Amino acid sequence: MDITQKIDKNKTLIAGIGAALIDILSHETDDFLEKLGNKKGGMTYVDVEFIERTLLKLTGNASIVPGGAACNTIIGIGQLGGETRFVGKRGMGKFGDLFETELKKSNVEPHLFTTPTSTGRVLSIITPDAQRSMFTLLGASSEMHPEEISYRCFQNAAILFLEGYLVFNPDLTIAALNAAKAAGSVIAMDLASFDVVESSKDFLEKIVIDYVDILIANEDESKVFTGYSDETEALKALAENVDVAVLKVGKRGSFISHQGNIIKVEPKGTGAALDTTGAGDLWASGFLFGLVNGYPLEKCGELASACGYEVCQVMGAKIPEKGWERIKKILE
């Protein structure tokens, strides 16, 4: 179906649901990462003892910023001037306060449940090639329950953006999808990480068929999800059960498939990446903002590419004001 006809033109709100997390980012060597035992570019769930122990070993100056895949995307849309809402669960301490304050500063409506458990954290190790490898302590976000999710979470939302990490809680995922569909929202989903796809492929395939309208993946994720290394075959497989499929191919740009047509999106900028944290999340910010505002898919892709490029020029997933000024010139 034509995705522009599926999105309610009377709505501009984009809602996101996912983990409310604080990102701790540090530049370290490949050897440092290898000793921690994580695949480069992957994501591993850890406990609080691991986080505290590893923080003491960091050699770089760590940056602390709000994070979480869906949250990064929603903040980006808010910074573009979009109408946004984030659904998640935070703790009651200083990290939870920081998280909510930053949402509001970014023009995001917080729809946050609370718990005494501390707010979740992600330790992102950034190696010299700008790849980020994540160690995630879910904290309070792991206590978001299906019965807390209702139609009101997504009321008036034209689009729900669902982060792939949520599939590790299948009941919560289904509750969110059903509530969003009841609210009349189009469902957009990013596959998040090859680790997520490897561990939850059967469940992902089911919800993509039953619920998802817009599917976003990078090369590693699409290879695991579709079984194809060839870009043409992978994109065809990604698009089989959705209205729009996106295949991101790093420095070479991205491809958008819609109604049998493939749009090649050229990369923006020529600067070397400092940190790839949030690159895919901010790509989704530009793309979804464009869609909900009725831009042609070519323009949506151009805006997405600009957002993805700018976030790679800084540490963390927060684009500075100068970066947003350059991005917004595309909209003029």
pLDDT at 5: 87
3-class state of residue 168 by DSSP: helix
Of 161, 174, 167, the C-alpha closest to 214 is 161
pLDDT at 268: 86
pLDDT at 52: 86
Long-range contacts of 272-276 (CB under 8 A, 24+ apart): 272/130, 273/130, 273/312, 273/313, 274/130, 274/312, 274/313, 274/314, 274/315, 275/25, 275/27, 275/126, 275/130, 275/132, 275/312, 275/314, 275/315, 275/316, 276/126, 276/130, 276/131, 276/132, 276/312
pLDDT at 300: 96
List, in sequence order, the alpha helices (H) in 211-278: 219-226, 231-238
pTM: 0.89
**94-105 and 69-79 helices, crossing angle to 10°:** 30
CA distances for 125 relative to 32, 46, 215, angstroms: 9, 14, 27
pLDDT by 10-residue block (mean), the chain, 332 residues: 88 96 89 84 86 88 85 96 97 90 94 94 89 89 95 96 94 97 96 91 97 96 96 96 96 94 89 80 96 95 95 84 91 80
Give the other-Cβ count within 10 Å of 316's Cβ: 22
Structural domains of the chain in order of their starting residue, each with its CATH number: 12-20+68-119+139-331 (3.40.1190.20)
Rounded to 5 degrees, what angle do the CA atoms 17, 18, 24 make?
140
pLDDT at 331: 84
